[in-house]
A and B are shown apart, each in its own frame.
Chain A
Amino acid sequence: MGYQTVKFYQTGTYTVGNRLLAPDERSVQAGERRSNSINSGHRACQGCGEALGARYAIDAAMAESNNQLIAVNATGCLEVFSTPYPESSWQVPWIHSLFGNAPAVATGVAAAMKVKGRSEVRVVAQGGDGGTTDIGFGCLSGMFERNDDVLYICYDNEAYMNTGVQRSSATPPTARTATTMPVGKEPGNVFGQGKNVPEIAMAHGIPYVATATVADLRDLEYKVRKAMKMRGARYIQIFVPCPLGWGAASHDTIKLARLAKETGMFPVFEAEHGEVTGVLKIRNKQPIEEYLKPQKRFAHLFGKHAHPEMVAHLQAIADRNIRKYGLLDEEKVNAQ
């Protein structure tokens, strides 16, 4: 990947900062003067992955655009917890319209800036997986197809969380939600449905598509900054665990994101004009159970009425991701 992992600096670039690195090699988040685009006092749950991912991404976009940024927000947790009237946590120009039209609104803002000759002002649109992969999907595809000058960021927590954890097209198979209860022969969400929006975005041939997680900050910042250097339609999907909806401990948010990547369940890659150009390799491959067990939404797969065949199926999905994207180094593949 395109950021430097400094060898032998105790922690390399795995940590947020590193006192041994030159200041210009450090992450945006390590800076004392980062913009804190979303400020304290927001009403996200304890350990919210989305609040964290949004600050990581928008701070990086602010740094790259020299603070000339407008953010458009779809309806969703991020919008609800950050702007309960009359308070706002945002420290950037920020607009919210409807659940499904954030890509279209962002297109409009970008067009307005162009008309006004303010090409230095950049536009980011953001939403959750519900607002992006389901409700806003038509507008999103249109924005891609027209190659509008917008970076769209999807914070993927794999369900509609603030309305009470209902299934979305990003919910993984077997997961329990309010609408996919763990009953019957194949409990939880079904296999064979859902959408892989990063791949759909790639199919539009847009300049840049990437995935990232809140567990790999340097990779996330690198991708946002790279996207901000480009013009046209760009899409980044950030994996943000949800302690409430997933039934996980609030302190495990980053650990779960890390395990999603290390198991191969969530492939982290980047693509330009429809072609994969880089992947974040798995450093220490883990079996899928390590990822599933800390989450209550998968609790029915284990225990007294376990479903090992469904766990095996999920493992097969992870293994397929590893093969498809080449997530393991050669020597690690051979060592298996």
Chain B
Amino acid sequence: MPNKPFAITLKPGTSLSNLTGSWRSARPVYLDRLPPCNNACPAGENIQGWLFHAESGDYEQAWRVLTLDNPLPAVMGRVCYHPCETACNRAQLDQAVGINSVERFLGDEAIKRGWKFDKPAASTGKKVLVVGAGPSGLSAAYHLARMGHKVEIHEAGPLAGGMTRFGIPKYRLPREVLDAEVQRIVDLGVTLKLNTKVEHIAQSMKAGGFDAAFLAVGAHIGKRTMIPAGDAAHIVDAVSVLRSMEGEDKPMLGRRVVVYGGGNTAIDVARTVKRMGGEPIIVYRRTRDKAPAHDFEIEEALQEGVMVKWLSTIKQAGAGEITIERMELDDKGFPQPTGEFEKLEADSVVLALGQDVDLSLLEGVPGLEVKDGVVQVGPNMMTGATGIFAGGDMVPSERTVTVAVGHGKKAARHIDAWLRGTTYLPAPKHELAEFKNLNTWYYSDAHKTVRPMLDIIRRQTSFDEVQGGLDESNALFEARRCLSCGNCFECDNCYGVCPDNAVIKLGPGKRFEFKYDYCKGCGLCVEECPCGAIKMVPEDI
């Protein structure tokens, strides 16, 4: 017998020898879920990812993460219709996080501080031609350049930007912002050739020795419609009006300007006319809730004094006067004529009925398929012609800047793979982080920061930017409203609430690990994780 006290037979020990992990029938595992904002972003931004850095005030890192997907944050922070905010889980709690305003803040901060992109990867020796310097072309050029390819952009117009310059008015996107973001892409080593119209894509590729091409010429031809008109009637299309705003000779439209259409372009033209001292009237055949324009834009136009005739079509245009017919919606929601007419004073009529693509550069390219006026592409953004990819407004899509930027990125990845003789396979998507995965008790109550708006008089008389930006303090506040859906933000809850000390804290930025030897599988960590970054999975028993 060893020398032990009376009635003692065992050595003293610690409970660590009791592996309580064997009690478990289900185990917690850490995972990253897909935040709804990221899921909704047409440009594929890692929004939760960049907000994480913005929350700690590291704006440069936030900007770097953001620009891994989108090289135009200052543009996007102004003109994007932010589907991310529509999808934001916080909207179910109080109001969506002002993602768009933080993006703009980061974009402006980058311009102010002169941040540059990281140097491209080692040169691949491949050459890619990008046709069109709109958002899609710029995005593709940027991504291809970062992947190490030599990129040349051929732009038919006198300046880069495409529809962001010639379609979006200054009061929504100041030109110095656009110029700064284009310049940063050029500084990356992208060659930008202005006033260089590609007449035949095959010839241009051969002449320049390009290995692949990305077409993003946009849709710049205003659609026309048949309106019986007298000789003296002045009818122009919206795209040319907006384009001529960028040149020396401003459009001559007269005082009373009728804008025909209900899309965002119609609103843009009407607001532009208002700023030039005219009296715009929008004529649209359906109702406000059926109009394709975003409601906030309609609201802003109305605030500025733009008149709208809903449920009306133009029957006839004459000198200084047009005739409109009142419409009625039928059971299916389609407008039907009523036979009631009205006359409106009109010095000119601007048609904002959508745009077509100029496809002349594609003539004679074998394999290329055009349907409904747009170029057909496969899931890899390649057209029927080998090595020729396309994106933006000229392919079937929702025509927004954000979608265009997304196309540019997607096409760049496929072009890169194609040039390397491989196929780009996107990583499988994580499961969606839904509101029910969150434990919202833990989030502080905080309402959205509203961006300042320019006062109404200046909105009616100048092209100054309408919507203001955030400053450092409220951008930080707004970033910190992010719930970090589905992605660990190191709040230490799992580490704290475990009754069995079965969570190891690995240190800042390294997250946590389970000690499965002791985890009893109670599920407290899963229940108390604010952001839904842990789930229980059954054990194989």
Contacts and interface: CB of A to CB of B under 8 A. Distances in A.
Interface of A: 5, 7-12, 14-20, 26-27, 29-30, 32, 36, 38-49, 51-52, 55, 82, 85-89, 217, 243, 249-255, 258
A89 B12 CA distance: 11
B505 A10 contact: no
B518 interface: yes
B491 A87 contact: no
B15 A42 contact: yes
B526 interface: yes
Contact of B527 (A15, A18, A252): A252
B55 A20 contact: yes
Interface string B10-22: 1111111111100
A41 B480 contact: no
Given A9-B444, A48-B499, A55-B499, 15 more contacts: A5-B444, A8-B446, A10-B482, A15-B496, A29-B495, A30-B492, A39-B14, A39-B15, A41-B14, A42-B18, A47-B523, A52-B498, A52-B524, A86-B13, A89-B14
A44 B10 CA distance: 22
B14 A253 contact: no
Nearest to B23: A46
Contacts of A217: 496
Nearest to B500: A40
Given A15-B491, A32-B507, A52-B499, A86 B10 contact: yes
A251 B13 contact: no
A82 B499 CA distance: 12
B489 interface: yes
A86 to B, nearest CB: 4
Contacts of A17: 490-493, 495-496
B256 interface: no
Nearest to A38: B501
B502 A46 contact: no
A42 B497 contact: no
Interface string B487-525: 001111101111111100101100000010110111110
Contacts of A18: 491-492
B424 interface: no
B442 interface: yes
Q: Ordered nearest first, which 4 A-B pairs have the shortest CB separation?
A: A17-B492, A16-B496, A251-B523, A41-B15
A41 B508 contact: no
A85 B8 CA distance: 10
Interface in B45-80: 55-56
B499 A44 contact: yes
Contacts of B526: 251
A300 B526 CA distance: 29
A48 B442 CA distance: 21
Given A41-B20, A49-B499, A55-B501, A14 B443 contact: yes
Contacts of B482: 10
Contacts of B12: 86, 88
A51 B14 contact: no
B518 A40 contact: yes
Contacts of A47: 499, 520, 522-524
B493 A41 contact: no
A19 B490 contact: yes
B107 interface: no
Contacts, number: 160
Nearest to A49: B499
Nearest to A54: B499
A43 B18 contact: yes
Contact of B501 (A39, A87, A88, A250): A39
B414 interface: no
Interface in B422-445: 441-444
A255 B526 CA distance: 12
Given A10-B489, A41-B19, A88-B12, A46 B520 contact: yes
Nearest to A252: B527
B481 interface: yes
B495 A15 contact: no
**Chain B interface mostly helix, strand, loop or mixed?**
loop
A15 B442 contact: yes
Contacts of A20: 55-56, 480
Contact of B56 (A8, A19, A27): A19
Contacts of B284: none
Contacts of B55: 10, 20
Interface residues of B, number: 53
A34 to B, nearest CB: 9
Q: Residue among B442, B483, B501, B523 with the most chain A CB within 10 A? A: B501
Given A17-B490, A41-B19, A250-B523, A9 B480 contact: yes
A85 B10 contact: yes
Q: Residue among A10, A51, A55, A86 with the most chain B CB within 10 A? A: A10
A61 to B, nearest CB: 16
Contacts of B416: none
Interface in B370-422: none
Nearest to A9: B480
B367 to A, nearest CB: 52
B108 interface: no
A118 to B, nearest CB: 24
Nearest to B506: A32
Contacts of B493: 15-17
B422 to A, nearest CB: 39
Contacts of A249: 523
Contact of B442 (A11, A46, A252): A11
Contacts of B18: 41-43, 87
A11 B518 contact: no
Contacts of B521: 46
B23 A16 contact: no
B528 A254 contact: yes
Given A15-B530, A20-B56, A39 B16 contact: yes
B14 A88 contact: yes
Contacts of B501: 36, 38-40, 55
Contacts of A88: 12-15
A30 B495 CA distance: 7
A129 B351 CA distance: 80
B15 A10 contact: no
Nearest to B508: A19
28 contacts: A9-B444, A10-B484, A10-B489, A12-B444, A15-B491, A15-B492, A17-B496, A18-B491, A19-B489, A19-B508, A40-B518, A41-B14, A41-B19, A41-B20, A43-B20, A46-B523, A47-B524, A52-B524, A55-B501, A82-B15, A86-B10, A88-B13, A251-B526, A253-B499, A253-B522, A254-B527, A254-B528, A255-B527
Contacts of B442: 11, 14-15
Contacts of B17: 41, 87
Contacts of B496: 15-17, 27, 29-30, 217
B477 interface: yes
Contacts of B13: 86-88
Given A11-B444, A88-B15, A254-B527, A51 B505 contact: no
A40 B527 CA distance: 20
Nearest to B536: A251
Contacts of B508: 19
B308 to A, nearest CB: 40
